[in-house]
Structure formats: C-alpha cells, structure tokens
Structure 1
Amino acid sequence: MLLPPLDYQLSPCTGLTRGHWCAYADHLLRSAHHFGTPDHANIHLPGANSRYGPRSDSLEAFARTFLLASFRIAGDPATTGWIADWYAAGLDAGTNPANPDRWPTPGELGQAKVEAASLAVGLALTRDVLWDKLPQRVQEQLIAWFETVIGEEYPPINWVWFQIVVETFLASVGGRSSDEDIDAGLAIHDSLYRGGGWFADGPERAYDHYVGWAFQVYPQLWALMAPNDPRVIARKALDGDRLADYLDDAAYLVGANGAPLIQGRSLIYRFAAAAPFWVGELSGHTRLAPGMARRAASGMLDYFARHGSITEDGLLSIGWHREFPGMKQAYSGAGSPYWAAKGMLGLALPADHRVWTAVEAPLPVEVADTQRLITAPGWQVDGTAADGVVRIRNHATDHAVPGALVSDSPLYARFGYSTHTFPDLNPESRDNAVVFVSPDGALTHRTGFEYLGSFAEGGVQVGASRFTAHWIEPDPDAGPDHGSGVTGTATPGPSVTVVSATRGAVELRLVRVAGSSVAPLRIGGWPVDSASSVVSSVLPVPGFGLSLDTSGTFVRSGAHPMGSELAIPWVGTSGTAHDGDYAAVVVLAGDGGASADTGVTFVAGEDGGRFVFPDGASVALARLARFDA
C-alpha cells in the first residue's frame, strides 16, 4: 500500500490527512475484492465462520465493505467509478432470484437484517451515482429484497435502527414501508436512553461502543436519508443534543496512543469507535473543535494500522491488534470486522470540509490531566497527560440487571478499563477485581451489583457499588456469547461494598466485607502484558483496616489480544477473610507516568481520618463512609 507523506503541519498529532484515509480505504476495498465471487455478489473472506454460516458471512463482507465504498463514493464521486461499478454488479447478482448464489433475505435470515441496513445507508448516500443508474430490473430486485424486513421482529436493542433505515430508504424509492415499524423502533430507541447522551443496549446495564457507533450514528444518517420526514424534523434538536452531549464525554475516552477505551463487546470492529466523531461533523451536532474530532478519529486509524490490524493480505482480522480468535463471539465471522467501515464515515465529507482542513487539535488527555464522572455507566474517568493513559473505574456497568447472579462478563463487569490494557478474557479473574477464592481455586463474581453513586471533591473522584460475591458453576447449555455473563448455578458468598477513590493513575480501593466470610480475599490490579512498559501495581494501605498480608502476580501464559503473556498483580489475605474493612492502592501508569510504588497514606484524626494521595490531594474517611447506609 502506497501512502502519501505524513503532514505534520496540518496534522501535528498524527500526520494523517484525508489522502491517508482514502489510501487505507481503497487498500481495504481492493484487498477484499480479491475474495469476491465472479459476479461480485459474495465476498468469501478466509477465516472463521459465524454461527450463521458462510452464506451469511459472505453477505456480511459484501455489505460492510459496501458501506465503506459508499463513503468513498459520496465524498469523491469523480474518482471512484471503479468502486461503484464493482458493487453495482454485486447488487444485481445478490438480489437476483434466479441466481443460485443470491443473498438470503432479511425475512429468511436474522443477520441479513443487520446487513440490509448497511446496504440501505450506502445506497442512500450514493443515490445519484449508484442507485439512479441501476437498471429498473435491479432496482425492483433490491426493493423486493429490502421489503422482507416489513413487519419483522427486531430485538429491542440497537437493531431497531436497522429496520428504521431500511424502511426509510424503501419509502424514498417508491417501495412499501410501515410507519408502525418506524414509530415502534423510535419508541424503543427512546426507551433505552439513560441521560447525558448515553443509551443502554437493551434493558440491561450494557454500556459500550454501541452507544456511539449505533445509537448516535444512525439517527443522524436517518435524518440525512429523509430530511423532510416530520419525525426527523420533530426529533432534530433532541437527537442532535444527545449526540453533542455524548461527544463531550467521548473525547475524554481516547488515549494519547490513539486507542479507544478497551471495553465492551464487538471490539473487533476496532476503529468503528471513530464514527461518532465524524457524524458530529456530518450533522453539525457537536461542540468539539473539528481538529480535535479528526485527531480522535485519525489517532484510532493510526493506532490500529501500527499494531497490525490490517493483515499482509490487506484484510481486517478478528482481533484487536493482530488476529486473536479468542475475541470471536457467536455472531462473528470473517466479514464482521468490516463494521470498522463506520469509522471511515468522514470520507463521505468532501475534501474542503472543515474537519479535513482544520489543523489537528490535541485530545483532552494530551493537554492536561483529566477527570470526568459519566453518570449513566457509572464511570469515573482519569486521564494522565504524562503517559497519555485514560482509565475508567466502573461501578454501574455489567451487561446485566441488578440482582442477577451470573458470571462476570470480562468486557463489562471489571472495576477498571483503560486505553492501554486489554481485559483478561477469562470470566473468573483477578483482573481489576475484588474476589474470594474457594478451596478448589474458583473465584467469585460481582455481576448484579447495586450502584451506590459517585461524587467528586477536592480533586478526588469517588464511586461505589455493593454486591453479593458469588461462585458460578456455568450452565453447559448457556447459549451463545453476546456479551453477557454466563448463567449457571450460583453459590452466594459475603456481601461486599467497594469504594474507588481515584486521582490520576492512583485508585484507593476500599473493601468492606460483611456476612459469613468463608474464603481468602484477593484484590486484583490491572492486566498488563509481561513485556510491556506499562506499570501495574497493588499495595496495601498501612495503618488502616484489616491486614492484607499476602501478595503475588497471577500470570496467564499464552497469547492475548495485546501480547503473549498477561500479568495481574494482587494483594489479599493469607487465610479466610474476616468481616471488616480492607484498603489497597491500585496503580496503572504508562511510560513517563507514576512510579510503581505510588502510595496513599492514611492519617488518623478526630474526624475519623483522611486518605492522602501522593500529590497532597485528600479525601475524608467520613465522606467515603457515606456509602455504608
């Protein structure tokens, strides 16, 4: 792949320009086309199949690369005729009822409902270049294929948007559509709103990148598809304000290394996390400077390109950096990673748009240390400018409902996530955990916890949750992995309250144990690759609470998404834990950040005492005890 020279005048942070984005897009498209069928209807990429099989996966590869193609065509119709021609042939062959290799319809296959949305959005964005030039026979074939979504049931999650955009496209080209379907989908969308620009992906506490690349992106694409629809007009301010609010938070969740927050399912979509930054510019609903929006997006593309996400064959693999099959979920096939196409939405904007002409502006974490409380997911964000690391401590997200007794989902239920560490993918783990260890070595889980709230005071952020620690014997017939914890037989343990007081790289983790302690306690730190320069440490707090008299480092040998061996430090009790309070300092620092022995001290006093952070900031024990009620 031939890339233009880096331009550090226009893009002082990444050097990337629109020319680089075009080159990456064209390389991804040409590489995928090598695996297309002669009629272009299907792209059979090498690698694993999803649970839906190769017919679904080859449609998925076509539809998702077509979405990328549509962005290129929309933003540069004069030089992308080769792309339009390639996909025009596939649109014909894929929907031709006489073709034995035709696509399964959305009425025949659930996954086709997802891919239909990419096709509809792409055709809407390129209508004058592609749709209007298709023969009437092909247009009729596509309409008939799309119309199988009408009246279909869609899960009450982000999927409702797939039906909304398809039926909106149908209405725009003379096909049948259902106002009832669209209105019902919009109602579900609104029911999932949790404030501050954040949506839950269903009735559970499922907060992740789907907030940005689905719940915030589709309303704006829908508005572009049907600007005169009364529903679009009525919702414009509402949806626009929600997007702007979300982007205000999202800017704080990108590390100086370019990585998005490593949390939540479908992480194999990688730089799709850039999509909301682009859609803010596309729609005009953003308070971010255009240079910062591009810096966030270009940082993500550069991060993944530098870390091998594009294979030697020019394909996107299942993984985070390079290929890692362990990240495959039940719905993942070889074409699935191409939802990353959403992260290239900016290519739909012409070269003279302000997002491409503005000088890159630094991210919040590149300007100064950052702190931010995000209420809906219960995240306290701490970014440190010295090392560019963004961390969250998590007390309200677990991809479950309060009271659920299931295993922890590794990508949702940990106490912490960052832009520089990848979670241990084993559900039972010391990774950012407070767990008890059974005689046979099994660890407890916290999912189903109660969120107790959060506050900030004196430069310290505080969040808390309470849970019944429980062991899970997994159900062998638990069903496919869609991000939630595994069900099974639960054995309850002690009640545990955890309070996280954070400042920068340092977390003071207070643990109160109550009720029939039956096993040793372990307080785990951040998971880091053994070869990494990132520092992860856990230390007791002298002079406070019950003794944490043993420590160690758990090592999980073998490849993980960011390296070859995972190490997790921990402290704990050498014997059975007792009812009472424990305190540990949990540190994550990158190059140039805090040292490994950064500590918090406890200073006793008549008011109950204070915890003092290394830079002198402090928080009173009495303030932390407010969560005991």
Structure 2
Amino acid sequence: MKMETSDRLYWVETMCQIANPVLHALKNRELKQIMPAGHEDRSLYAPLEALGRTLTGIAPWLESGESVGREGELREAYAELARQSIEAGTDPESPDYMVFSYDYQPIVDAAFLAHAILRAPNELWFKLKPQVQQHVIEALRSTRTRKPGYNNWLLFSAMIECALYKMGSDWDPMRIDYALRQHEQWYKGDGVYGDGPNFHWDYYNSFVIQPMLVDILEAVGDQHADWNSLREPVLQRAVRYAGVLERMISPEGTFPAIGRSLVYRFGAFQHLSHMALREELPDEITPAQVRCALTAVIQRMIDMPGTFDQEGWLTMGFCGYQPELSESYISTGSLYLCSTVFLPLGLPAQAPFWHDEPKAWTSREVWSGGQIAIDHAIK
C-alpha cells in the first residue's frame, strides 16, 4: 500500500475512533447519561461542546470525502449519525436536548455547530428534516440573549449569524461587523491577532480566530464592500500563520506546550489543516509536507497511553492523561475540538495533499541538514 493511501486510512480511522463515542451516544439519546463530565460544574455545557466540536472537525469529510469503497461507506454512515446527533441535541423532547439559552458557554459551542453546518451545508443542513432545521434555527437564535466576551468570543456570535444567513433566517449583520472590525484593530502583525486587545502566547489564533475569520468572510464577505475589502489581508495573514504553525512541528512530531487549552491536543493545528483544505498553503510549503507533519503529531498524541479511557472517551491531557492541564472551563466535551485537525479529509484522495509522495516537513528537513526557504515576516 502506498504511503499516502496509508496516511489517509489512518486519519479516517483515527477520526472515527475519536468521534464514535459522541455520535453513537447521541444516536441512542444517552449522551448526557454516559459521557464523563470532567469538571462536574461543566456538565451542563459538555453535551453541546461535544456535538459542536466533533462536527466542526469532521464536517468537510462528511460533505466531500470519498464516496466509494470502505471510506465511502463510513462517510455515509457517519453523515447519518451526525444528522441524528443534531436532531437529538436540538429536539426539546429529547433526553439529550442541549442547553443553548442559559449562561455564556453555549454561545461558544452553538458557534462550533454553526461552523460545522457552514462546512457541510448539504449533509448537515439540507438533508435535515424541516422540523429539525427549525429546531436548529431556534437554538441558534436563543444565544442572542447574552453578550459575548470582548475577545475571540465576538467571532462566535458572528459565526452564528453567518449560519442563520445561510439558512435563510433573519440575521444580524451588526454582530458580524463588530467582530470583523474589532479583530482588524486587534491584529498584531506578522500573521497573528490578539485575543482581544492583548496578545497571548497560546493557540487561539488556530483554535478559533483565523479559521472563523476566513470562513465568515467566505460566507458573507460579498454582503458589504468593507467586508469584501478585508478578504485579501485576512487571507494573507492566514497563509503566513499557517506557515508559522508548520514550522512549529518538530522533527519528532511534537510542538510547544504553550498557553491555555492545551488539552485540545492537535486541535492546535486547526488553522494549518484549514488552509490545507482550502489549498492555500504558503508557496514554500507543499501539501505533502503538511500531511506528513500532521500525521506525525497525531500519531505522537494518539499513541500515548491514557489518551482514551476504557470506554473510548478522550481524557483530560495534552499527551496522555494529564488532568492538571485542564482549566476550570474544560469539560470532556471540550476536548473534542481536536477533531479539527482532520479537515483535509474533505479533499479528494487524488488531491496533492493525499496523493503526493511523502516529504519531510520544514523542521525535519532543516534539522537533517537539508535545504529550506528563508522565512520572512509580513506586515
């Protein structure tokens, strides 16, 4: 079997291993009953966290992954599981009905669910039953009663409004405009934004900020001239930041354990995966380099004992079971943001990302005495 085929198979199998407990529990409408809570005081929010974060990662694969063979069969099955999960989580009569209209955390994970629907509109929206669509719209609208934080959370409110726009529902352009304007003010240079007015050494540019900025402008950028004018600079910064992330992956497939929310594991590379999915990587980085680098990271983390509990749920930790790294806002559901590393599975198997021969990523090449491009900053 060719290496690139093996990589794709490994990614699909690992993604399904991660998603399985969440989606099967929701299909059976027993997620609240059986999912470990993590921090007990977060149990109210954990189900929506698990649903939104799992789906936003696997959505491109559900929408445009392979349609034939074993992968095609899996994709069809998981798309149906995803629709059943959305129905279970938004049906007021379901035992797994999720909290959308209380407190602040649901703003975050309603946005991840909205992002998933934007990434897979055919599989996760148009194929929903009309009643389920209405439930989703009502759930998203219910988040408007609270104010998001003055930081990356502005993008959560904006993402929800983008989804409502795409669903043909009433939407509030002001929430989108505010998020875009503030992040433009918070741009710090060389491809990174502050999380609010201040810069933080963490992975929130990848967890949230840059993937949502790019996709919000993709979804509604043509609605206003000033939004449209942001597309080019936002994309230029996104390309630069993707290059920075690729260079942060060591020859051994590790990366700096820096900043908060480290228990999202390889979700730290959502943005690099997103730019690979969009086929908008920096010129000096090939898709095969990114595939090989991310595969090394995934293997390094997944293979560490303690990553999963005996029932297959993700555990608190960065590399294995390390509960001391979970902040007070973390639940078991939070951990499923790691699924966003799998975004490139939305590319066909014949795309260069999957089809090209293996190639050493930047740090592996340079630390082996090889030749790499000089790195350059941007404004």
Using structure 1 for the length normalisation, give the TM-score.
0.54
Q: Give how far 1:221 is off.
A: 2.5
| Residue in 2 that maps onto 1:291 | 288
Deviations 1:107-148 (A, max 9, x none): 323111111112111112222223112221111111111112
Query: What CA distance in whole angstroms lies between the structure 2 residues aligned with 1:241 and 1:143?
Result: 33
Q: Give how far 1:264 is off.
A: 0.7
| Residue in 2 that maps onto 1:187 | 181
> Does 2:105 correspond to 1:111?
yes
Deviations 1:547-571 (A, max 9, x none): xxxxxxxxxxxxxxxxxxxxxxxxx
Residue pair 1:147, 1:175 contacting (<8 A) in 2 also = no
Aligned pair partner of 2:351 in 350, 353, 360: 353
| Residue in 2 that maps onto 1:24 | 14
Deviations 1:158-180 (A, max 9, x none): 21211111100101111121111
| Residue in 2 that maps onto 1:363 | 361
Residue pair 2:157, 2:176 contacting (<8 A) in 1 also = yes
| Residue in 2 that maps onto 1:306 | 303
Aligned pair partner of 1:62 in 32, 35, 51: 51
Q: Give how far 1:68 is off.
A: 3.2
Query: What CA distance in whole angstroms lies between the structure 2 residues aligned with 1:87 and 1:246?
Result: 31
Query: What CA distance in whole angstroms lies between the structure 1 residues aligned with 2:358 and 2:151?
Result: 35
Aligned pair partner of 2:266 in 271, 276, 283: 271
Aligned pair partner of 2:126 in 132, 136, 157: 132
| Residue in 2 that maps onto 1:331 | 329
> Compared with structure 1, are the counterparts of its residues 203 and 227 closer, same or farther at alpha carbon in structure 2 (3 Å cutoff)?
closer
Aligned pair partner of 1:121 in 105, 108, 115: 115
Query: What CA distance in whole angstroms lies between the structure 1 residues aligned with 2:37 and 2:321?
Result: 10
> Compared with structure 1, are the counterparts of its residues 322 and 234 closer, same or farther at alpha carbon in structure 2 (3 Å cutoff)?
same
Deviations 1:318-353 (A, max 9, x none): 112211111111111111111101111112222222
Q: Give how far 1:41 is off.
A: 6.6
Q: What percentage of residue pairs aligned between the two structures are identical?
A: 21
Q: SS state of the match for residue 359, structure 1?
A: coil
The letter for the 2-side match of 1:25 is M
Q: Give how far 1:248 is off.
A: 2.7
Q: Which has the higher contact order (CA 8 A, sep 6+)?
A: 2
Residue pair 2:273, 2:344 contacting (<8 A) in 1 also = yes
> Does 2:81 correspond to 1:91?
no
The letter for the 2-side match of 1:333 is S
> Compared with structure 1, are the counterparts of its residues 286 and 253 closer, same or farther at alpha carbon in structure 2 (3 Å cutoff)?
same
Query: Equivalent residues in 2 for 1:241-280 (5 A)?
Result: 241-280=236-275
Residue pair 2:221, 2:231 contacting (<8 A) in 1 also = no
Residue pair 1:67, 1:342 contacting (<8 A) in 2 also = yes
Q: SS state of the match for residue 66, structure 1?
A: helix
| Residue in 2 that maps onto 1:221 | 215
| Residue in 2 that maps onto 1:236 | 231
Residue pair 1:42, 1:59 contacting (<8 A) in 2 also = no
The structure with more strand, counted as a fraction of residues:
1
Q: Give how far 1:48 is off.
A: 1.7
Query: What CA distance in whole angstroms lies between the structure 2 residues aligned with 1:43 and 1:239?
Result: 42
Q: SS state of the match for residue 73, structure 1?
A: helix
Q: Give how far 1:95 is off.
A: 1.9
Q: SS state of the match for residue 44, structure 2?
A: helix
Residue pair 1:22, 1:72 contacting (<8 A) in 2 also = no
Deviations 1:401-424 (A, max 9, x none): xxxxxxxxxxxxxxxxxxxxxxxx
Query: What CA distance in whole angstroms lies between the structure 2 residues aligned with 1:239 and 1:246?
Result: 11
Q: Greater CA deviation, 135-144 or 58-67?
A: 58-67
Q: Give how far 1:56 is off.
A: 0.9
Query: What CA distance in whole angstroms lies between the structure 1 residues aligned with 2:13 and 2:257?
Result: 26
The letter for the 2-side match of 1:338 is Y
Deviations 1:178-229 (A, max 9, x none): 1111101111211221000012222333121112232221122324434644
Query: What CA distance in whole angstroms lies between the structure 1 residues aligned with 2:99 and 2:161?
Result: 18
The letter for the 2-side match of 1:21 is W
The letter for the 2-side match of 1:297 is L
The letter for the 2-side match of 1:92 is E
Query: What CA distance in whole angstroms lies between the structure 1 residues aligned with 2:141 and 2:241?
Result: 33
Residue pair 1:44, 1:58 contacting (<8 A) in 2 also = no
Deviations 1:426-471 (A, max 9, x none): xxxxxxxxxxxxxxxxxxxxxxxxxxxxxxxxxxxxxxxxxxxxxx
**What root-mean-square deviation, in Å, do the aligned CA atoms of Structure 1 and Structure 2 show?**
2.4
Query: What CA distance in whole angstroms lies between the structure 1 residues aligned with 2:331 and 2:219?
Result: 29
Residue pair 2:63, 2:346 contacting (<8 A) in 1 also = yes
The letter for the 1-side match of 2:77 is W
Q: SS state of the match for residue 128, structure 1?
A: helix
Query: What CA distance in whole angstroms lies between the structure 1 residues aligned with 2:32 and 2:117?
Result: 17
Unpaired runs of at least 5, structure 1: 370-384, 387-629
Deviations 1:277-336 (A, max 9, x none): 222223343212111221222121111122232445333211122111111111111111
Q: Give how far 1:22 is off.
A: 0.5
Aligned length: 359
> Compared with structure 1, are the counterparts of its residues 196 and 54 closer, same or farther at alpha carbon in structure 2 (3 Å cutoff)?
same
The letter for the 1-side match of 2:287 is P
Using structure 2 for the length normalisation, give the TM-score.
0.86
